[in-house]
């Protein structure tokens, strides 16, 4: 059985840990509200852009002059996986669930004989992927020095991805991130952004028999819209990640705080029993000595 001093030191240590987890929980709760508002505010713009893209792509289908970002390279040999995670831990299984989804896709693609390249956004994604797939990582970035994620960071990543596509370094790009559903639910999500396709469930707007006339034509609009679409999708993923990270962190720290409290109660009970046993032993020794006299 541990000594009284060891138990006392351990109780003090767990109490210190509990204070840290409680503080982290409160910080995450404060940040979550702003992050959730930002993620939800970005969704209508993204969804509307997806609807416009669905309408334009339907009009441009079969056009030999359609942009490569829409029609693709004509090949499906090389895949780029953009894995966006958080820069910090202490947020439960948030980071590992995104990485797990990316790993499953890597295994599937390699099993089909495809070439896989990886771009990581966030320290935790790179730290987990480098163990098995470090040779596949062609670019990595993190925003640990950035106080607040903005569109400039998303555009920086998009410009890098678009430059790689223009150079013929990949045929298909898929973005991995955690979609915020609620405080207790963050869903790992994979979205193909190059060639651009309308996500499932997104249909062109119902024109009720009306016909759109584009000025300039669909191809010129798509040439301007598609690079913006890639940036917007990455920006949305970053905002969803921030909200999901704070929600997962709040939940994880709440669980850790409650577990610390239960551990303190258990250790305190063990400490009191050990102390009582020691007092009883000392009394027996005193009584035995008195009787011997």
| Catalytic-residue membership of 91 | yes
DSSP structure string for the chain: ---HHHHHHHHHHHHHHHHHHHHHHHHHHHHHHHHHHHHHHHHHHHHHHHHHHHHHHHHHTT-TT--HHHH--S--SEEEEEEE--S---STTHHHHHHHHHHHHHHHHHHTT-EEEEEEESHHHHHHHHHHHGGGEEEEE--TT-SS--HHHHHHHHHHHHHHHHTTS-SEEEEEEEEEEETTEEEEEEEEEETT-PPTT------TT-----SS-HHHHHHHHHHHHHHHHHHHHHHHHHHHHHHHHHHHHHHHHHHHHHHHHHHHHHHHHHHHHHHHHHHHHHHHHHHH-
Among 7, 91, 116, 238, the active-site one is 91
44 neighbors 279 (Cβ within 8 angstroms): no
84 neighbors 125 (Cβ within 8 angstroms): yes
Active-site residue set: 91
């Amino acid at each position: 059985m541990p000594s009284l001093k060891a138990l006392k030191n351990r109780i003090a240590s767990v109490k210190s840990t509990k204070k840290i987890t409680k503080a982290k929980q409160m910080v995450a709760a404060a940040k979550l509200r702003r992050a959730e508002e930002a993620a939800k505010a970005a969704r209508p713009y993204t969804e509307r852009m997806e609807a416009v893209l669905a309408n334009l792509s339907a009009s441009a289908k079969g056009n030999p002059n359609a942009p490569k970002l829409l029609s693709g390279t004509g090949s499906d040999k090389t895949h780029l996986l953009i894995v966006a995670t958080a820069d910090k831990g202490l947020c439960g299984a948030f980071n590992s669930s995104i990485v797990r989804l990316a790993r499953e896709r890597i295994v599937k693609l390699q099993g089909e004989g495809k070439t896989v390249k990886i771009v990581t956004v966030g320290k935790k994604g790179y730290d987990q992927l480098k163990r098995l797939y470090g040779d596949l990582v062609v670019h990595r970035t993190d925003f640990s020095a950035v106080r607040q994620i903005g569109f400039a960071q998303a555009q920086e990543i998009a410009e890098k991805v678009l430059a790689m596509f223009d150079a013929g370094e990949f045929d298909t790009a898929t973005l991995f991130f955690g979609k915020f559903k609620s405080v207790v639910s963050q869903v790992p999500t994979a979205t193909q952004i190059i060639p651009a396709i309308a996500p499932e469930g997104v249909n062109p707007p119902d024109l009720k028999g009306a016909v759109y006339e584009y000025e300039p034509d669909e191809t010129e609009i798509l040439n301007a819209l598609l690079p913006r679409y890639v940036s917007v999708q990455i920006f949305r993923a970053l905002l969803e990640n921030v909200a999901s990270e704070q929600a997962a962190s709040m939940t994880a720290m709440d669980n850790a705080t409650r577990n610390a409290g239960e551990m303190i109660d258990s250790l305190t009970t063990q400490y009191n029993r050990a102390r009582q046993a020691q007092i009883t032993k000392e009394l027996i020794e005193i009584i035995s000595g008195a009787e011997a006299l």
